Amino acid sequence: EAQVTQNPRYLITVTGKKLTVTCSQNMNHEYMSWYRQDPGLGLRQIYYSMNVEVTDKGDVPEGYKVSRKEKRNFPLILESPSPNQTSLYFCASRKDTGELFFGEGSRLTVL
């Protein structure tokens, strides 16, 4: 089954404790991206990757890092999380014809 898998789905952490949210897709898509969803602000893009070893900033990249060492994986790293990074995060991959495939989301709370 074609899917995008994110882990963890739910996480509560404390300020400053590094964390990684993993994202994996099994559709061989070149393009992957991360979004955060906040009430009243819709989805905002954090980082995207056009292909392996190619990443670029989206609209809200501050406080986040990504890497794309292999095509299927695109982890999101929060080196020193802060409470303003409490949010619902979505990973997505994109087909060549433009459609996005989203993961189920990761709800992060930073205390």
Footprint on this chain of another protein (rule: CB under 8 A): 4, 31, 33, 35, 40-45, 48, 50, 56, 58, 90, 92, 96-105
- For another protein, the closer of residues 26 and 82 by Cβ is 26
CA distances from 65 to 28, 51, 68 (A): 22, 16, 11
Phi and psi angles of residue 30, each rounded to the nearest 5 degrees, phi first: -80, -40
- For another protein, the closer of residues 81 and 103 by Cβ is 103
- For another protein, the closer of residues 63 and 105 by Cβ is 105
Q: Identify which of 4, 70, 72 has the alpha carbon closest to the alpha carbon of residue 35.
A: 4
Bond preceding residue 8 cis, omega within 30 of 0: yes
Closest CB 14 distance from another protein, rounded Å: 25
- CB neighbour list of residue 104: distance below 8 Å, 6 or more residues apart: 6, 9
Closest CB 18 distance from another protein, rounded Å: 25
- For another protein, the closer of residues 23 and 78 by Cβ is 23
Closest CB 105 distance from another protein, rounded Å: 5
